[in-house]
Each structure stands twice: as C-alpha cells, then as structure tokens.
Amino acid sequence: MVANRGEIAKRIFTACRELGVTSVAIYSDADAGCQWIQSADEAYPLGGTTAAESYLDMQKVIGIAKANGVEAIHPGYGFLSENAEFAEACSTAGIKFIGPSPAAMRLMGSKASAREVAQQAGVPVTPGVDGAGKSDGELQQAADEIGYPVLIKASAGGGGKGMRVVESAGDFLGALQSARSEAANSFGDDHIILEKYFTKIHHIEIQILGDEHGNVRHLFERECSIQRRHQKIIEETPSPTISDEVRLEIANSAVRLAQSAGYFSAGTVEFMYTGDGNFYLLEMNTRLQVEHPITELVTGHDLAQWMIKIAAGHTLDVSQESINQRGHAIECRVYAEDPAQNFLPSIATASLVEFPVMPNVRCEVGIATGEAVTPYYDPMLAKVIAFGTTRQEAIGRMILALKQTIILGLTTNIPYMLDILQEAHFQAGETTTNYLAEQFDGWAPSFETSDTDLLAIAAVELLSTGNVQASGGGETKQSFDPWNEPTAWRNR
Amino acid sequence: MKFKININGTEQEVNATRQGDQLTLTKPDGETLTAEIVQNNSGKIVLNLDGRLLQIAGHKNGDDRQLWANGRMLAYQRIDETAAGTAADPGSLSASIPAVVSEVLVKVGDAVGAGERLILLESMKMIIPITAPADGTVTELMCAAGDSVAPGVPLVIISD
C-alpha cells in the first residue's frame, strides 16, 4: 500500500507491478476519481479532505491496511514518510514499513543528532551550535562567535520553514523568536540550531541505498542548487560544479554517515558545497526523494524497486564499483503556481493536460484533464525528466519536452523554467543556491505577439476548442462531489 | 468578426473570419493571413499556414484566455464588446448546448428563407437543426461538418 497520492503513488504502483506485488491506493475525498488512483490494483477511500484528516491520519491509514491484508506500506515523500512514530505503529500492527528503521529515522531526522553522528564519522559539518537548553543570551553570544551571517534553523525542519538568515548582531534576537515560533507551529518543536551561513553555495546531495545486512552503497550525487525560497525546482546529475575527486570524497562521507547510523533503505545525504573543495553536511532525508528519477536514469538502478526488495529482506548484491554514472539527467518540477506573482499557488481545474512522449524523456504525472488543484496538498503537478549523453543534450531535450507539455486552466511555472534552461549562467553550469534570486528576481513571462500568435488567438475565439468553461461565477467546480464518490473497488 | 483583446494591459484588435475550413486574419495594414483548419477536436486545433503547421490549444474562462501555441504559453483577456455597449451581430446563430456539427446545408452567398434549415447539429444522439430566423443571405459560415461546437460560439451569420 502506498500512503501517499499523485505522481509518487503512481511511481510506486509501477514498481510494485514490475515486481509482481499487488498495489493498493488510498485516497482522500478531495482526490476521489483522480486518475493516479487507477494505476493501483486495489483502491480504498480514506475519507477526509485536508492532509491531517487523510494522508496524515496514521490510525486511518493503518486501519485500512489491516482490514485489507496489506503486508507493507510505502510512505512516499512528505506526509508520514519521515515519521518514526508511524514506522513503529506499522510494525506494531504487523505491517512492514518500507523505509529505514524508526531508530535511524529519529537519529538522522533530527539535525542536531545527525550532526553528532557526522562528527563521529568524520563527516564535515558547518561551524554551529545546538540551541537545546541554551538561553537567548548564550545563543546571541554563540552567533557572535560563529560570525555573521548566521543561519537559524529548526532542528526538525525542512522546506525552509523555521529558517532565518541573520545579517548582523542587532537582528539576532528578533529572528530567533520568529524562527522558534514558526518551528513550534510547523513541527510542534521549537528546538533550533545555529550555523554559519555561506553566501555562495551549491546544494549537492548523495543518494544512498542500504540493506538490512549492513551493506551501504552510494549512487552518486545530484546537484539541486536551483531553488526558490529553499524549494528545489530543477535538479541534475552529475553536478556541473564538482571535480571527480570531490565527488568521491562527498559520496564516501555519505556512505560513512549512513553506516554509522545503521541506515538501510533509500536515503539522501544533503551537503552544501562552498565551491572551494569544502563541503559540509546539511541534513539527511530518510526517505525517497522527489528528484530520485535522475539518479535512476544515470545509474540504471530502480530506487523504488530497491526499497521494496530491501524491505523484503533482500541483500543489496551490487558492488560499489559496478555502479556508474552514465550520461546526464535533469528534472524539472512542474508546479501549479505563478512565478510572476510571488509563486502564488494556482488553485483551479485543469481543462487540458498533455505530456510529451519522446525518446529519453520520462514524465511522472499526478494530474489529468478535468482534475483540480486543491488548496489541501502540495501544488506540484508532475516532474519532467530528460536524459542526454551530455549536459547540453539533456538541457536541449528538456526545453523541447517542456514546450510540448500542455497544461491549461492552471498557471504553471513552465515558462519560468524554460527561461532558466536558456539562461547563460545556467547553461554554463554556474548555479549557486542564490541563482534564482540573482538572475530571476522580478521575472515576468513574455507577452510579445507575432502574426501567427494572433492567428492562434483568432482560432481560439472562432473555433470551439472543447476547453470552454462556464463563464460568469468565477468559481471552478471542485473535482469531488459527496454524491458521486466511488466506493471501494477491486481489480483482480 | 472583430474583437478586442488585452495582453498585459495593451489592447489589441483582432479581425478574423472563418469560411468553412479557412481561417483568415486581417492585419491592421490590410494584409491577410489565411490558414487551413486541419484539426479541431479533443481540445486541440491544428492550422496549416502555407505549409507550416501551427499546433494550438486554448482555454476560456469568462473573459480570461490561455493559449498554448507551438510550445509557447500566452495569457490574455478578451474584452467583452457587448458589455462595452456594442451589440453582438444580430444575425449570428449558435448552438445552445455543446454539440457536433453533422451537416452544413448552406454556403456563403446563399439566399435563405425564414425557417430554412442551415446547419444540423448532433448532441446526445439527437439532431438539432439551426434555422434562419428571417429571410436573408448567408454572409459568414464559421463551422464545418465534424466540428465540436460550444454553446454561444457563432456558427453562421445571416443578414438581410
């Protein structure tokens, strides 16, 4: 069973099917009738609309699993994927959790304890201080010693929540208060840590696979420096920045860290690379990552399948030497949001959804024509992944693939990503985590119109396109309807 | 037909007509571009402009428009002429429900009498005729057999 939704649920159903494992979908009321559910062998309603009422409700999830004889649960990413309590609840219910052990999750899920493990394993960490049990005055003094700019971040955090960059000593206490309250609200834990903040950094992460018999391998790096407000949107592998020596050094550090933590299943060790050969641990993500497909394309290993096989007790019977990077892969995350309006989510119904079918392009899609983007879940619609023998070839193929991706009725970030892919610094591989802020602040789409555009505009007005929505009201119809809710069905 | 659009605050007039499977755009300088309508179904339109194929998909929500044309997205608004006080062409006839054009019985220039059947639409397995409201001449024909048509989109114009 997959305790998740959208593209990642579909991705894991496919892995199950390839392994001959029966797959089970669960879905909230808001997702009833969505196409991704139909990729599973069985589907059961979870009820509820918000994440808390549905995909985050452990009792409901485990209840449905037990009632239907589910043997294992894959949590995907987000929702319950890094929740050690859920992993424990699964095992109490006699269900295998497809992921690391609760102990490893707890150890690596907390930035503070991950730092300690890293220091013992000889993995570089950023100069910094754990805020647990320290007074505001002590923390101010620690920040002064580290030297500004200083980063305050939530120990339990992720996705940029509870994070503050403090430029000078005078701003420290105010930022500390707001970071603490944001951390408490988002994660139920106001435990924060202080770190030296580097201004020019690359986000490099290492994919790890480990089995329950002590074998740990790395599947090389991904560079994820193209971020908007700490949210990755374009990822690639290999990194255009690091040398082969640094690549191996970082990868071996990640393996040591995973071994010290007794880690098994898929995991990702995130590092910041400061461009001078130095790298520091950021955190470990104890789950399958959104951007895992680029690693799959360059190494040929199926990470979703490996997670299932490892959970079934299989040995990771591949040598480190046999794992190679071949060619170049890029992923673009398609979000229902408007980059020209502060990345405001676009909550509406898609009147047309079409993804390209072309060689060396893989599309992981969580939306279909007629389906709505609701305010309840993450507005990521799909991932477009392109492979090429060289970086240039992969970029060219990605540009073509995004141009051939049609999503109408919603505003998406596709035009924004197309402009990034064609920008000189990106093309040269000069991408730090400040790249978007430096190059794309105040971005707006092009409004130039050619004669053929006017002809196309005339065609939309004069011919029926089949995408006409009722005018007037302005409210789009929600995709779910309590009177039209499908009941549980089985597909044998 | 002439209509106005608003692209990022700039108003622009578009003058275009459809005769059967030909779509003609008249530019402000009087020059015309005529394209053949190759496909108009399942949400996609394909035009052939002197051998060049234009792939088009459009979305309408009230006055808001979204256009995907050959890999490029464009958002704009149609400016509602009727709201601005100009009445819609009184002789324009359209479907009242989504339908498919099954037969076009007249051509441009034909004289027609009141009640004469001009176009046959098919919807939910029913044939729905569009008939002339009064005696007149067919001046514009904006659909062809096989087209999916939306309610309110003009299909034929009759003038006296």
Minimum-distance CB partner of B57 among A464, A465, A476: A465
Q: Are A216 and A255 in contact (CB under 8 A)?
A: yes
pLDDT tens digits along A7-39: 999 999 999 999 999 999 999 999 999 999 999
The reply to whether residue B43 touches residue A466, judged by beta carbons under 8 angstroms, is yes
Give which of B18, B23, B61, B122 to mutate to test A binding, by max A Cβ within 10 Å: B61
Q: Are A107 and A261 in contact (CB under 8 A)?
A: yes
Domain boundaries, chain B: 2-79, 92-159
Active site residue A326: no
Asked if CATH classification 3.60.15.10 holds for the domain at B2-79, the reply, yes or no, is no
Give chain B positions within 8 Å (CB) of A458. Answer: 14, 16, 23, 25
Residue A473, pLDDT > 50, answer: no
pLDDT tens digits along A311-336: 999 999 999 999 999 999 999 999 99
Distance CA A256, CA A284 (A): 13
Distance CA A489, CA A492 (A): 10
The predicted pLDDT at position A158 comes to: 66
Q: Quick check: helix, strand or coil at residue A81?
A: coil
CB proximity A451 to B under 8 Å? yes
Distance CA A411, CA A236 (A): 24
Q: Are B44 and B55 in contact (CB under 8 A)?
A: yes
Distance CA A412, CA A196 (A): 35
Give chain B positions within 8 Å (CB) of A472. Answer: 62
DSSP single-letter state for residue A203: E
B 29-68 → A contacts, CB under 8 A: 33, 35, 37, 40-45, 47, 49, 52, 54, 56-63, 65-68
Measured between CA atoms, the residue of chain B closest to residue A412 is: B73
The predicted pLDDT at position A159 comes to: 63
Amino acid at A248: L
B 99-158 → A contacts, CB under 8 A: 142, 147-150, 153
CB proximity A358 to B under 8 Å? no
Residue B151: phi, psi to the nearest 5?
A: -60, 140
Residue B136 C-alpha, separation from nearest chain A C-alpha, in angstroms:
22
Give chain A positions within 8 Å (CB) of B56. Answer: 456, 459-460, 465
- Fold match, B2-79 / B92-159: no
Q: Is the peptide bond before A127 cis (omega within 30 degrees of 0)?
A: no
- Residue that is written with structure tokens 């073509």 in the block: A400
Torsional class of B20: left (φ above 0), alpha (ψ -120 to 50), beta (otherwise): left
Q: Are A409 and A381 in contact (CB under 8 A)?
A: no
Mean confidence (pLDDT) of chain B: 87
Is beta strand B2-7 parallel, antiparallel or unpaired with respect to B10-19?
antiparallel
Name which residue leads in pLDDT, A167 or A111.
A167
Give the range among A147-161, A217-231, A375-389, B45-59 with minimum mean pLDDT.
A147-161
The closest of B86, B66, B21, B160 to A469, measured between CA atoms, is B66
- A417's CB contacts (< 8 A; 6+ apart) are A233, A234, A332, A334, A402
Give chain A positions within 8 Å (CB) of B153. Answer: 462-464, 468
pLDDT band at B90 (very low <50, low <70, confident <90, very high): low
Torsional class of A58: left (φ above 0), alpha (ψ -120 to 50), beta (otherwise): alpha
Distance CA A131, CA A176 (A): 10
Q: Are A87 and A105 in contact (CB under 8 A)?
A: yes
Minimum-distance CB partner of B23 among A404, A458, A468: A458
- B133's CB contacts (< 8 A; 6+ apart) are B91, B93, B114, B158
Distance CA B2, CA A409 (A): 25
Give chain B positions within 8 Å (CB) of A467. Answer: 43, 57-60
Residue A475, pLDDT > 90, answer: no
Distance of CA A85 to the CA centre of its chain: 21
Q: Which residues pair with A362 in a beta bridge?
A: A385
Minimum-distance CB partner of B60 among A369, A455, A468: A468
Give CA separation, A234 vs A220, A228, A231, in Å: 17, 10, 10
DSSP single-letter state for residue A94: T
Distance CA A328, CA A311 (A): 29
Domain B92-159 classification at class level: mainly beta
For chain A, list the domains and their CATH numbers.
6-98 (3.40.50.20), 127-196 (3.30.1490.20), 202-439 (3.30.470.20)
**Looking at A357-443, which runs of residues are DSSP E strands?**
361-365, 380-388, 406-408
CB proximity A449 to B under 8 Å? yes
Q: What is the mean pLDDT of residues A96-102?
A: 98
Runs of H (alpha helix) within A200-313: 244-260, 292-299, 303-311
Residue A345, pLDDT > 80, answer: yes
- A401's CB contacts (< 8 A; 6+ apart) are A356, A358, A361, A363, A384, A386
Give chain A positions within 8 Å (CB) of B48. Answer: none
Give chain B positions within 8 Å (CB) of A408. Answer: 43, 57-59, 66, 68
The reply to whether residue A408 touches residue B68, judged by beta carbons under 8 angstroms, is yes
Q: Quick check: helix, strand or coil at residue A279?
A: strand
The reply to whether residue A461 touches residue B3, judged by beta carbons under 8 angstroms, is yes
The closest of A97, A75, A88 to A4, measured between CA atoms, is A75
Measured between CA atoms, the residue of chain A closest to residue B144 is: A463
Give the range among A77-91, B28-42, B84-98 with minimum mean pLDDT.
B84-98
Torsional class of A131: left (φ above 0), alpha (ψ -120 to 50), beta (otherwise): alpha
Q: What is the mean pLDDT of residues A210-217?
A: 98
- A167's CB contacts (< 8 A; 6+ apart) are A148, A149
Residue A487, pLDDT > 90, answer: no
Burial (CB count <10 Å: 0-12, 13-18, 19+), residue B155: buried
Residue A376, pLDDT > 90, answer: yes
What percent of chain A is modeled with pLDDT above 70? 93
Give the range among A52-61, A103-112, B80-89 with minimum mean pLDDT.
B80-89
Give CA separation, A167 vs A20, A197, A199, A276, in Å: 55, 9, 11, 23
Give which of A454, A460, A477 to mutate to test B binding, by max B Cβ within 10 Å: A460
Answering whether pTM is above 0.95, one says no
What percent of chain A is modeled with pLDDT above 90? 82
The predicted pLDDT at position B20 comes to: 86
Residue A446 C-alpha, separation from nearest chain B C-alpha, in angstroms:
8
Minimum-distance CB partner of B14 among A411, A457, A471: A457
Give chain B positions within 8 Å (CB) of A354. Answer: 57
Other CB atoms within 10 Å distance of the CB of residue A63: 13
pLDDT tens digits along A420-435: 999 999 999 999 999 9
Size of interface A-B (CB pairs under 8 A): 149
CB proximity A146 to B under 8 Å? no
Q: What is the DSSP string of chain B?
A: -EEEEEETTEEEEEEEEEETTEEEEE-TTS-EEEEEEEEEETTEEEEEETTEEEEEEEEEETTEEEEEETTEEEEEEEE-TTTTTPPPPTTEEE-SS-EEEEEE---TT-EE-TT-EEEEEEETTEEEEEE-SSSEEEEEE---TT-EE-TT-EEEEEE-
Distance CA A32, CA A50 (A): 13
Catalytic residue among A287, A333, A391, A397: A287
- Residue that is written with structure tokens 């997959």 in the block: A2
Residue A343 C-alpha, separation from nearest chain B C-alpha, in angstroms:
16
pLDDT tens digits along A130-164: 888 899 999 999 999 988 999 998 888 766 677 89
Q: Quick check: helix, strand or coil at residue A32?
A: coil
Chain length of chain A: 492
* Tokens standing for residue A364: 């992981």
Q: Quick check: helix, strand or coil at residue A490?
A: strand
Give the range among A105-114, A238-247, A266-275, A464-473 with minimum mean pLDDT.
A464-473
- Using only C-alpha atoms, chain A has a radius of gyration, in whole angstroms, of 23
